Structure 1
Amino acid sequence: MAGRTAPAPEPHHDQRLTPQPRGAPPVTDTLPETTTPQKTLSEALGATRLAGLLAEHTGEPITPADVEQLVADDHLTSCDSYKGWPLYATADALALDVELVRKIVADRVEWEQASLPRDAAAERIGWHWSDIARMGREGRITTGRGERYLIADLDKLAEEADGEQYITAQAAATDVLEIRPTDFKYVEAAGWIEPADTYKRAVGRHRTVTVALYRLGDVRALLDMPGVDWEAARGLAKGAPSPLREYAKLAPTRAAVVRGFAQALADRHGVTVWAWNSPYSGSWELDWERIDGGPTKETVRQELTDNPAAGSYAAEITLCPTWGRITRKARTLLQPDAAVILDTETTDLYGQTVEIAVIDTATGRKLMDTLVKPTTKITPGAHWVHGISDDDVADARPWEKILPRLRKVTKDRIICAYNAEFDRSVVLGDTHRAGKKPLHLEPWDNWFCLMDAYAKWVGSNRWLRLGGGHRAAGDCETARDVLIRMSKGRGSSFTPRPPAPGDPVPGPPAGTVLASPAVPDA
């Protein structure tokens, strides 16, 4: 009730009211704000967080490498894992003997001061990193924690093993022989030197190349070869012929061999062949058009294996890649009366149609191009994309009036669309709203997604923007350009060459299984 003072509450049974000095703050049930709440520890931690906890606990500069050493020495064991990373019991870690942990840290620090990581070790003595790794595997350099190498052994190795290090062809040519790197191929082709080892080097994000390495001592020995005028091979202008080419007849390159095989395949079977050197894998990919009586994958694989030149590269040639299948499908869709390309513009994302166009894939001829009056307003976002306003479609025909024409121009055709899932759902949505039956517009088998096909053809795991003007007819034409591009295959195209007068008709490679005469029926 207003105006009355509530009685003071009785002290709680466990409160202790004691006299306070004058000016002292009153006793309360809460802790002072300066009190730090006790940290709650996880029952298990990964190596990085556990290292931080142990560092705080012991006062030592503990790293995840020290935790890994504790595990390697069986002082800690994994109790769980998270996304493949091991977890260790916090209680077990805190129960470790502090002196044991300090010794682990001291041993690591001492080793780090006396050693170098691989790349720094290679830089110290001017060797290739693969030499350092090789010498470590052979036990000629002491290796230890963190894949590090003992400095004392490195310095000794630089003095005692000079000439045993490996160098690249570039270094062999420019630093030792003092010739153009492009001329080193003649040295190899002459049989004077062979690679001692190889390694894989990353090129970009998805590709690696094989790099040959040569023993330095072997390269130096080339300088003492009798009869070779190295001085004449030095200081040559770019493009000038090298005198070293007289010592070797170069074998054809892999590219020349693959292209030759592709052309012979086209001539032999009367089919168009596509050959592409993938910049991602470095290997070649090969496909061909399918015709009645044409070669199968097994046939081509056998011809490739039996081919004297291309057979050595068989493991580096992929037959019938994904882009090849899509290329063949695109060629089918471009046949007369095989397919159409459809595009819609809508009131909103997955909204109602405001414009629809259909063109013939074979000719590009417009079969349908019309505005459509929706039953809802066009959103500002959609208008910003395609530029069609409510006023533009005010006098247009509604969906039920244009549906008969759409059914007619798409009947018995594959309906291609750049994002077929979107256009199909829009068409079906408008048809159901109009109370009509979609008929052949509904089955997924009657649709073909150009966007999905193009992404796979290019080798992308993301959909690729069409880049049209966001009007239905223009987008159909741009989508047709994509279809035509896919139909041409990747890389180089090889078409059958007519035999010259008097030339024999091309057949299987001589001496192969396929060239064997047929066995007459018994």
Structure 2
Amino acid sequence: MTTQQIPSSLGARQFPEYLGIPEWQFERAVRLGCIPAPDRARRRWSRTVVQQVRDQLAGITAATGAVPDMGATRAAEYLTERLGTEITPDAVAELGRQGALRIAGAYKDHPVYDGLGLEMFEDLAAAQEAGRLGRQVTRAEAAELLDVRETDIRHLHRAGYLTPIRHVHSRWQRRREDPAVPLYRLGDLHALQDRDDIDWVAVRAAAGPGRRSPFAALPNAAQT
């Protein structure tokens, strides 16, 4: 296409279409500075800029990568295929929590992970460890793992000793309701087990039917 055939200016939707690249790749190129900011009003680019970008397109697409930003489930599927072993969505969330994967934004309150970072990620050992520490469990599963009662977990949560990593909907909840089921991170349960100020032997010894949890005396987190 000659310079004369290029429109006098292009908008944010027309420009990637003209270049033949997806919008996500165009937006990433702008964010990374591979494509300059609009130089015309109403977020439009001039013919001069369009021609410059067109001539440098191969280098721009190489710098922006071929993987779009995505949520934890799709990111886990992508990493599983790339690394040749199962990577769970919990592992992806943990890698994001650690900063090993960049969180690019959010969609419906769920993190979206940077596709360029996913494309460059190669640390299989870190992904596997993240899958172990980042595993998310329900209150019942947490109680089973710690060999205590669910009421003990409730008291630890109430007292701020254990904080949910997120909440999900129960099978009985309507989708329009706020998620009510807390999920706990396995790494936080391990840290809880290592606390010197908790006598786990005594807690487990008090686990008989009708017996009061030793954690019941803990003050509410808001009161501490």
Structure 2 portions without partners, runs of 5+: 78-86, 105-112
Which residue in 1 is equivalent to 2:72?
Answer: 118
1:242 Cα deviation after fit: 5.6
Inter-partner Cα distance in structure 2 for 1:77 and 1:119: 32
- Are the aligned partners of 2:203 and 2:213 in contact in 1 as well (CA < 8 Å)? no
The equivalences for 1:172-321 within 5 A come to: 172-173=141-142, 176-177=145-146, 181=150, 184-188=153-157, 194-196=161-163, 198-199=165-166, 204-205=175-176, 207=178, 211=182, 213-214=184-185, 215-218=188-191, 221=194, 225-229=200-204, 241=209, 243=211, 245-249=212-216
- Are the aligned partners of 2:165 and 2:183 in contact in 1 as well (CA < 8 Å)? yes
Inter-partner Cα distance in structure 2 for 1:144 and 1:173: 27
- Are the aligned partners of 2:165 and 2:182 in contact in 1 as well (CA < 8 Å)? yes
1:102 Cα deviation after fit: 1.6
Deviations 1:188-221 (A, max 9, x none): 56x6x71256557688447566957441423555
Q: 1:209 to 1:185 in 2, by over 3 A?
A: closer
1:67 Cα deviation after fit: 1.9
Deviations 1:9-50 (A, max 9, x none): xxxxxxxxxxxxxxxxxxxxxxxxxxxxxx99583312x332
- Are the aligned partners of 1:122 and 1:132 in contact in 2 as well (CA < 8 Å)? no
**Aligned counterpart in structure 1 of residue 96 of structure 2, from 115, 119, 133:** 133
The equivalences for 1:34-53 within 5 A come to: 43-46=9-12, 48-53=13-18
Inter-partner Cα distance in structure 2 for 1:129 and 1:161: 7
Which residue in 2 is equivalent to 1:147?
Answer: 114
Deviations 1:264-294 (A, max 9, x none): xxxxxxxxxxxxxxxxxxxxxxxxxxxxxxx
Aligned partner of residue 76 in structure 1, secondary structure: coil
Deviations 1:454-508 (A, max 9, x none): xxxxxxxxxxxxxxxxxxxxxxxxxxxxxxxxxxxxxxxxxxxxxxxxxxxxxxx
State yes or no: 1:77 paired with 2:77.
no
- Are the aligned partners of 1:164 and 1:216 in contact in 2 as well (CA < 8 Å)? no
Aligned partner of residue 80 in structure 1, secondary structure: coil
Counterpart of 1:225, as a letter, is W
1:173 Cα deviation after fit: 2.4
Inter-partner Cα distance in structure 2 for 1:187 and 1:156: 31
Q: 1:92 to 1:182 in 2, by over 3 A?
A: farther
Structure 1 portions without partners, runs of 5+: 1-38, 56-61, 82-86, 234-240, 254-310, 313-522
1:186 Cα deviation after fit: 4.2
1:160 Cα deviation after fit: 4.6
**Aligned counterpart in structure 2 of residue 89 of structure 1, from 45, 56, 60:** 45
Q: 1:76 to 1:69 in 2, by over 3 A?
A: same
- Are the aligned partners of 1:43 and 1:91 in contact in 2 as well (CA < 8 Å)? yes
Aligned partner of residue 41 in structure 2, secondary structure: strand
Q: 1:183 to 1:251 in 2, by over 3 A?
A: closer
In the alignment of these two chains, the number of paired residues is 188
Q: 1:196 to 1:67 in 2, by over 3 A?
A: same
Inter-partner Cα distance in structure 2 for 1:152 and 1:186: 40
Between Structure 1 and Structure 2, the one with more strand by share is 1
TM-score (norm 1): 0.28
CA RMSD of aligned residues (A): 4.8
Inter-partner Cα distance in structure 1 for 2:49 and 2:177: 41
Aligned partner of residue 89 in structure 1, secondary structure: strand
Q: 1:162 to 1:51 in 2, by over 3 A?
A: closer
Aligned partner of residue 202 in structure 2, secondary structure: coil
TM-score (norm 2): 0.55
Inter-partner Cα distance in structure 2 for 1:76 and 1:91: 13
With a CA cutoff of 8 Å and minimum separation of 6, indicate the structure with the bigger relative contact order: 2
Which residue in 1 is equivalent to 2:126?
Answer: 157
Q: 1:195 to 1:246 in 2, by over 3 A?
A: closer
Larger Rg: 1
- Are the aligned partners of 1:176 and 1:220 in contact in 2 as well (CA < 8 Å)? no
Inter-partner Cα distance in structure 1 for 2:101 and 2:157: 35
1:134 Cα deviation after fit: 1.3
Deviations 1:429-465 (A, max 9, x none): xxxxxxxxxxxxxxxxxxxxxxxxxxxxxxxxxxxxx
Q: 1:196 to 1:232 in 2, by over 3 A?
A: closer
1:108 Cα deviation after fit: 3.6
Deviations 1:323-342 (A, max 9, x none): xxxxxxxxxxxxxxxxxxxx
- Are the aligned partners of 2:76 and 2:92 in contact in 1 as well (CA < 8 Å)? yes
Which residue in 2 is equivalent to 1:481?
Answer: none
The equivalences for 1:250-399 within 5 A come to: none
